[in-house]
Amino acid sequence: MKYSEMSEDLRTKVIESKNLELNHIQLELSHGRDNHFRQFVDQWFCYKNGYVTSTGSASWSKIILNEWYSEAALEEGPKGSIVQKEHIVPLNVITETLRKLRIPSIDEIEDTLIKTVMFATITKEENQLLNDAGLKDSMPAEYYDQTSDLYKDPLARYKKAGISLTYTTK
């Protein structure tokens, strides 16, 4: 749901919830913890992008086929049991990027999340291609190589695994 489509009360609640998730992340970082990052990061993404219920709760299921997707996943549709959503940049890479920030401000955390947190809907077979390429939880070496065309390209592991993704603006 776009912010412009929300009532003023709902929009305020969603923005406050997004900011609360950023505060949770900052608090976890300041205590050297990250065991709840998945929940905080995923909820931040939902609130930031309007993937919420009519009462303002984060709705992860609304991400499916509404961000990046493969053609195979699109053919299966959102209800297909062989379709799954996943972080384009693996969560542990996002976590390490956040950890490298020294006493990060909320703005630094959000800037990092904006650059790294994206979701793709792919099939289980495509997920296996990532696993087989050794890219389940990591980015390829080219992602870190300033001389590579894939340097800091969030889609680098998909490109290396031969998975083509399309972005939707639904």
Q: What is the pLDDT of residues 111-137, one digit of tens each?
A: 999 999 999 999 999 999 999 999 999
Percent of the chain whose pLDDT exceeds 70: 96
Instruction: Look over the chain and give the mean of its residue pLDDT values, rounded to a whole number.
Output: 93
Question: What pLDDT score was predicted for residue 80?
Answer: 64
Q: Can you say whether the dihedral through the CA atoms of 163, 164, 166, 167 is positive or negative?
A: positive
Q: Residue 84: its pLDDT value, please? A: 85
7-40 pLDDT, tens digit per residue, is 999 999 999 999 999 999 999 999 999 999 999 9
pLDDT for position 103: 87
Mean pLDDT of 134-155: 97
For residue range 53-94, list pLDDT tens digits in order. Answer: 999 999 988 998 899 999 999 988 776 667 788 999 999 999
Quote the CA–CA distance of 7 and 102 in Å, as a whole number.
38
Q: Are 112 and 98 in contact (CB under 8 A)?
A: yes
Report how far residue 38's alpha carbon sits from residue 64's, in angstroms, rounded to the nearest whole number.
17
Total-model pTM: 0.91
Task: Give the chain's radius of gyration (CA, Å).
Answer: 16
Residue 81 confidence (pLDDT) = 67
pLDDT at 2: 81
What's the whole-number mean pLDDT along residues 147-166? 97
